[in-house]
Amino acid sequence: MKSMIKRNLLLYFRNHSGVFFSLMGALISFILYLVFLKKNMQSSWSQVPNSTILLDLWLIGGTLSITSITTTLSSLSQSVIDKEKHITQDLELTDAGPFRLQMSYLLSSTIIGILMQLIMFAIMLGYFYVTDKLTVTGGQFIDIFGLMIISSLLATAVNSLIIRYIHKSDNLNKVGTIVGTGAGFLVGTYIPIGSLPNFAQNLVKITPGSYVASLFRQYLMGNKLNNVFKNSVSSRNHFDRLMGIRLEWSHLLTQKETYLIMVLIFVGALILLIGSQWLQNRRQMYLLQEK
């Protein structure tokens, strides 16, 4: 399986244009913020101390979530290409077998998601350090890196369901375009979640990436928000609700509740993946018996 993971990693990183386009959604979010959104948002929150730093951190959290979504989907496209070219059938005849082959796609996708998040984080942090003197602590980085791993696992599981029944790369490209475009809205980087109409807010709340973005923002912004809003809990809650720092159901979710929802989504995705694979194996066995 190690050789298959290595193969998938090499195929991904050797395709330079593919790597670039897998980051397109994240880059659009970053550039759109710098060119259009930053000044407007700064003016809207000018009364808040250190608003520039807070908004920079807010943008980083959302963009990291987009990165995990789009890069893992792009990596998993290799499984579709292999199926389309009938390479999968040849690989399944090796010692690894079908199960390890599928695991290699999932693990390589997770690794790619982590690496690309680290790259995007370094790019954004470097830029904002030069322009706004933004820094993060070692403790924050450890929390963020752990969440990068979790977000990549979650995005890989969910994206595997999306591409499960896609058999042509052309169709996958269309799906990738939709996901890359929609991700920025669904994690609240193009428009703050609290500014969306109720229907759109409810749609965001069923999107796994929004919970990931929420946790990234809490880790990045938490201490600074505590200082800024230390004398006003209501103002802090309003800011959290509007900017998607914490998502609201019947109340603003805590970190533990947010993690619990992510775990439930991950487990649900795994159950559906295993179930669909079992049904596919049963179908193949039935067809072989018929022959």
User: What pLDDT does residue 263 have?
Assistant: 95
pLDDT tens for each residue of 108-133: 999 999 999 999 999 999 999 999 99
What's the Cα-to-Cα distance from 278 to each of 98, 115, 118, 148, rounded to whole Å?
12, 31, 35, 30
Radius of gyration of the chain (CA): 20
b/e burial code for range 60-89 (CB count within 10 A of at least 16 → b): bbbbbbbbbbbbbbbbbbbbbebbbeeebe
- What distance in Å separates the CA atoms of residue 148 and residue 87, rounded to the nearest whole number? 31
Most confident region among 22-26, 85-89, 286-290 by mean pLDDT: 22-26
pLDDT tens for each residue of 27-38: 999 999 999 888
Mean pLDDT value across residues 55-82: 94
* Overall pTM surpassing 0.85 (yes/no): yes
- What distance in Å separates the CA atoms of residue 82 and residue 78, rounded to the nearest whole number? 6
**Neighbouring residues of 273: CB distance < 8 A, sequence distance ≥ 6:** 157, 160, 161, 164
Three-class DSSP category at 48: coil
What's the Cα-to-Cα distance from 92 to each of 89, 98, 285, rounded to whole Å?
5, 5, 15
Q: Which residue type occupies 75?
A: S
User: What pLDDT does residue 277 have?
Assistant: 75
The rounded mean pLDDT for the chain is 89
- What distance in Å separates the CA atoms of residue 255 and residue 204, rounded to the nearest whole number? 17
* Angle of the 169-186 helix axis to the 138-162 helix axis, nearest 10: 140
Query: Is it the case that residue 281 has pLDDT exceeding 60?
Result: yes
Whether 188 and 244 have beta carbons less than 8 Å apart is answered as yes
Whether 104 and 96 have beta carbons less than 8 Å apart is answered as yes
- What distance in Å separates the CA atoms of residue 226 and residue 239, rounded to the nearest whole number? 12
User: What pLDDT does residue 94 have?
Assistant: 67
Helices assigned H by DSSP within the chain: 2-14, 16-22, 24-32, 38-44, 51-84, 87-92, 97-132, 138-162, 169-186, 198-205, 208-228, 233-243, 255-290
Mean pLDDT value across residues 153-162: 93
User: What pLDDT does residue 216 have?
Assistant: 97
